[in-house]
Amino acid sequence: MADATRPPDWHGQALARRLRRRYAAERRFRRLTTAAVIGALGFLLFLLASIVAQGWRGFTETRVAVPIDLAAARLPVDRAQLGGRAADLALAGAGLEGVVDRAADRLGPDLLSPGAWLRVRDAVKRDPSLLARAATFDLPAADPIDRAWKGDGSPAAEAVASRLAPRLSTGLAIRFLTGSDATDPGRAGIWGALKGSLLTMAVTLALAFPVGTLAALYLEEFAPRNRWTDLIEVSINNLAAVPSIIFGLLGLAIFIGTLGLPRSAPLVGGLTLALMTMPVIVIAGRAAIRSVPASVREAALGIGASPVQLVVHHVLPLALPGILTGTVLGTARALGETAPLLLIGMRAFVAAPPRGLTDPATVLPVQIFLWSDQVSGGFVERTSAAIIVLLALLLAITGAAVALRNRWEARR
């Protein structure tokens, strides 16, 4: 007891030591928390960097300069046919593919990617005079050579690539942006999946936005405070936290099992994702509606507006920017969603872009998932390239939403 009441020895050794220890502990703690932030950000950077490092090569293709003497081949093609729509059939029937293959075989076996001759066909269609002379075409190389030229091929392919080095060049892989899924990595493209994603999102938006907005307006403006309203509120809040795969089970049981809608269709995918997105829109919408100033309400009611007029003429226009931002962010989440779509069958191999809402289709994240399963090495860079496209799309959408919100807020 006597010790505790005695004034501390401010200049003593013990106190100085204790202070040093406490300051050291302070520095340690601070460094630890800094390390946590740096670790998390470092992981993010490493993730993005490793994907970009692999993915940028997916946008390029290796081309082989193949000399082809079309005059010597004497293709039985009528010049007149080349202008019309029959040109494709005429050139294919004349055996152009064989001519191109033989020309490439003179340089080495299995040099060209399947479908490389289509480039020659298109060139001839653009310039029919090619049929009367010899020319050199830059044609996409087969997958092993493509990878060897990009620096990670097999030793055998490396040898072929270094032998052909003067003939090899690198160009933009337009096929990757315009094509659909294929078994050969060189021909695989993302347009089919992108179109599937766009169709699916259209269905999601068309359903989730109006329903979500109306539900938010009802809950904020009209709902009486009773047990039923509580039930609606609780279910909306819980739906927002239900794992996405549960929505896939629901879509499978209801839309496919009970209603008999087609599997793999953007319609079913969109409906399933709409159920998932709607609670997000309701929650964002209610926050936006709550932030409409009370003075606006009182003024409208004061000059005799009915509750519906108040909502339609005043509350909705003022809350719309907030609702739209929530909608866009919810859609961005749905756009990156994979799990529920796996269950409703959007994981099939689809080699053509969907033409309608009920055609078999796949979406961008599922396409990434499917390619990641491929054993063929060329798909590694295609997968990363597809991820880059998906991330760029998400970034653009989110950025647009944020910019939109800032503009509206500045104007108000």
Partner 1 sequence: MSTLGLLFTVTALALIGWFVARARAMQFAGFGRRSGAGAMHHGWRVAAFTALPPLIFLSAWGVISPALVTDRVLATPAATALPPPGYDRATILAEARGLAKGERPGAFHPLSRALAPAYAVAQTRLDWIATAAALLLGLAGGTVAFARVRADFAAHVSVERLVRSIFLAASLLAVLTTVGIALSLAWQGGRFFAIVSPLDFLFGTRWSPQAIDPRDPGASLGALPVFWGTFLIGVVIAMAVAIPFGLGAAIWLTQYARVSTRRRVKPALELLAGIPTVVYGWFAALSVAPAIRSLGVALGIGSASGESALAAGLVMGAMIIPFVSSVADDSLHAVAVALRDGSLALGATPSETIRHIVLPAALPGIVGGVLLGVSRAIGETVIVVMAASSVAILSADPFAPATTVTRQIVDLLTGEAVFDSAKTLAAFALGLVLFGVTLALNVAALGIVRRHGRAHG
Site for partner 1 in 316-355 (CB under 8 A): 332, 335-339, 342-343, 347
280 in contact with partner 1 (CB under 8 A): no
Contact between 217 and partner 1 by CB under 8 A: the answer reads yes
Q: Shortest Cβ distance from residue 1 to partner 1 (Å)?
A: 22
- In angstroms, rounded to a whole number, what is the distance separating the alpha carbons of residues 272 and 248? 7
Among 9, 26, 105, 127, binds partner 1 (CB under 8 A): 26
List CB contacts of 365: < 8 A, sequence separation 6 or more: 335, 336, 337, 338, 341, 390
- Please select the residue that binds partner 1; options are 247, 268, 270, 322, rule is CB under 8 A: 247
CB 59 within 8 A of CB 173: yes
Residue nearer to partner 1 on the CB measure, 56 or 222: 222
Give the CA distances from residue 138 to residues 36, 63, 95, 211, in Å, rounded to whole numbers and listed in that order.
51, 5, 19, 53
**Binds partner 1 by CB under 8 A, chosen from 20, 30, 79, 163:** 30
Give min distance, CB of 219 to partner 1, in A: 6
Comparing CA positions, the residue from 274, 278, 262 lying closest to residue 361 is: 262
Of the candidate spans 184-192, 246-254, 288-296, 319-327, the one that interacts with partner 1 by CB under 8 A turns out to be: 246-254
Which residue, 51 or 75, has its beta carbon nearer to partner 1? Answer: 51
By the 8 A CB rule, do 335 and 400 touch?
no
Site stretch for partner 1 (CB under 8 A), options 10-18, 34-42, 184-192, 287-295: 34-42
Structure tokens at 232: 């609606």
Binding to partner 1 (CB under 8 A): which residues in 181-200? Answer: none
From the list 17, 18, 20, 34, which residue makes contact with partner 1 (rule: CB under 8 A)? Answer: 34
Give the shortest CB-54-to-partner 1 separation in angstroms.
8
Q: What is the H or E stretch that residue 67 is in?
A: strand 60-69
Cross-strand bridge partners of residue 62? 170
CB of 366 to partner 1, least distance (A): 8
Contact positions with partner 1 (CB under 8 A) in 285-314: 306-308, 312
The answer to whether residue 405 forms part of the interface with partner 1 (CB under 8 A) is no
Return left, alpha or beta for 336; rule: phi > 0 is left, psi -120 to 50 is alpha, else beta: alpha
**Contact flag: residue 29 with partner 1 (CB under 8 A):** yes
Lookup: tokens for 63: 């081309």
Distance CA 69, CA 132 (A): 8
Of positions 2, 32, 165, 410, contacts partner 1 by CB under 8 A: 32
Q: Strand pairing partners for 65?
A: 138
Q: How far apart are CA 277 and CA 348, in angstroms?
A: 24
Q: Which of 130, 177, 223, 301 binds partner 1 (CB under 8 A)?
A: 223
51 in contact with partner 1 (CB under 8 A): yes
Among the residue ranges 85-93, 179-187, 237-245, 289-297, the one whose residues contact partner 1 (CB under 8 A) = 237-245
Among 9, 16, 18, 23, binds partner 1 (CB under 8 A): 23
- What residues contact 255, with CB distance under 8 A and at least 6 apart? 261, 268, 271, 272, 344
Query: How many residues in the shown chain lie near partner 1 by CB under 8 A?
Result: 84
